[in-house]
């Protein structure tokens, strides 16, 4: 989810959400939240009403999608660094519980659905990436020579750390709270065939809103995030106007309440703010983020014999990689 309605709010300000092209990131190293990418891949495929499966009937959508998206990035001379989630913070327990209930409800409704439209709708809503599928993605990336990091908790803080330290040039995500974790730059829709690629620069946001980074975190907490519902029934601009006058969460809540706005009383903002500023991450150096030579034969064997992808298509894709990176040698 990220920060509720933050993108909508920023779109009201000129030049904070900028349209870009994939060619703008040529020669760049980009951190990628792999969980969000895989969900987009699976949901996109489920628009057809079914997953991509192998001869055993097992879903291989995640493998097919990750392989192709990675090649697309490399063909544009973009180096992806995939970030895998670790154990989520206890602060997110209630959100995870709600999401699990939502997926289970979708599964129940899928079983009851009669129309094709409803079946596809609930099939998409029930999408879940399993631990087995994530491990299979790690194996694929190892054979492709693509760097990845296993974050100690959620990927957000790991992505932000990489961007803040200049180890990557930006973060590809649809999750707005990567900004709240301090990433200087986020890129949206980088691999979308339907939506414009957009980027948001944190320093531009702070300058335009006349907020410090600490104050921006406060504002995001008030809007609502993965760790607090925030104020859900008030226009974002109203929340910003009150916060800009007070520059303090407690004072802002009191001011809103005194003007007859209905606001929550239990925002645990100090703990949430501390987490945004000091969430755990793993320190790495540039050498760990370099593309390694592709293990061609093992990769072909995995994709063709394990996942049932067509060999001639795989060979063709690997030929593209060979031209781009000079690291994939067909034999």
Digit-coded pLDDT (tens) for 267-302: 788 999 999 999 999 999 999 999 988 898 999 999
The predicted-structure confidence for 124-154, as pLDDT tens digits, reads as follows 565 678 999 999 999 999 999 999 999 999 8
Angstrom distance (rounded) from CA 227 to CA 272 = 7
Residue-averaged pLDDT of the chain: 87
pLDDT band at 251 (very low <50, low <70, confident <90, very high): very high
Asked if pLDDT for residue 312 goes beyond 70, the answer is yes
Using pLDDT thresholds of 50, 70 and 90, give the confidence band for residue 118.
low
Report the distance separating Cα 105 and Cα 30, nearest Å.
35
Identify the band that residue 191 occupies on the pLDDT scale cut at 50, 70 and 90.
Answer: very high
Alpha helices, H only, the chain: 6-10, 34-46, 61-75, 93-112, 116-125, 131-144, 155-164, 177-180, 202-209, 213-223, 236-246, 249-258, 269-278, 296-301, 311-325
Q: How far is CA 104 from the centre of its chain?
A: 22
Of 36-50, 101-115, 141-155, minimum mean pLDDT range: 101-115
Is pLDDT of 329 > 70? no
Instruction: Please state, for a pLDDT cut of 90, what percent of the chain lies above it.
Output: 59
- Cβ atoms of 109 and 59 closer than 8 Å: no
Which residue, 217, 159, 210, 208, is CA-closest to 183? Answer: 159
Instruction: Please answer whether residues 199 and 219 qualify as being in contact, where contact means their C-beta atoms are separated by less than 8 angstroms.
Output: no
Residues 156-162: what's their mean pLDDT? 97
Q: Which residues contact 233 (CB under 8 A, 6 or more apart)?
A: 262
List domains and CATH numbers for the chain: 16-203 (3.40.50.1010), 211-279 (1.10.150.20)
């Amino acid at each position: 989810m990220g920060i509720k309605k933050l993108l909508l709010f920023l779109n009201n300000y000129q030049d904070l959400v900028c349209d870009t092209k994939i060619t703008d990131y040529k020669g760049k190293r980009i951190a990628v939240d792999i969980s969000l990418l895989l969900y987009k891949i699976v949901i996109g495929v489920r628009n057809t009403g079914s997953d991509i499966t192998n001869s055993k009937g097992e879903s291989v959508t995640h493998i097919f999608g990750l392989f192709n998206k990675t090649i697309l990035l490399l063909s544009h001379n973009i180096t992806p660094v995939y970030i895998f989630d670790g154990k989520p913070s206890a602060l997110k327990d209630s959100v995870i519980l709600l999401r699990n209930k939502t997926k289970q409800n979708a599964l129940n409704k899928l079983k009851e659905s009669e129309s094709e439209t409803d079946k596809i709708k609930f099939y998409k809503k029930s999408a879940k990436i399993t631990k087995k599928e994530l491990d299979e993605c790690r194996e694929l990336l190892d054979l492709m020579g693509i760097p990845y990091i296993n974050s100690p908790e959620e990927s957000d803080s790991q992505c932000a750390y990489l961007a803040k330290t200049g180890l990557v040039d930006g973060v590809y995500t649809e999750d707005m709270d990567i900004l709240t974790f301090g990433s200087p730059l986020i890129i949206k829709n980088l691999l979308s065939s339907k939506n414009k690629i957009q980027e948001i620069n944190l320093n531009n946001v702070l300058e335009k809103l006349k907020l410090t980074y600490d104050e921006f975190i406060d504002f995001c907490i008030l809007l609502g995030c993965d760790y607090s519902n925030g104020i859900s029934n008030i226009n974002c601009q109203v929340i910003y106007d009150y916060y800009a006058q007070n520059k303090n969460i407690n004072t802002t809540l009191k001011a809103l309440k005194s003007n007859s706005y209905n606001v929550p009383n239990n925002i645990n903002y100090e703990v949430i703010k501390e987490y945004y500023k000091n969430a755990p991450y793993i320190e790495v150096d540039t050498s760990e983020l370099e593309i390694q030579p592709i293990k061609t034969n093992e990769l072909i064997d995995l994709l063709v014999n394990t996942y049932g992808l067509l060999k001639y298509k795989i060979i063709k894709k690997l030929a593209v990689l060979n031209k781009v990176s000079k690291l994939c040698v067909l034999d």
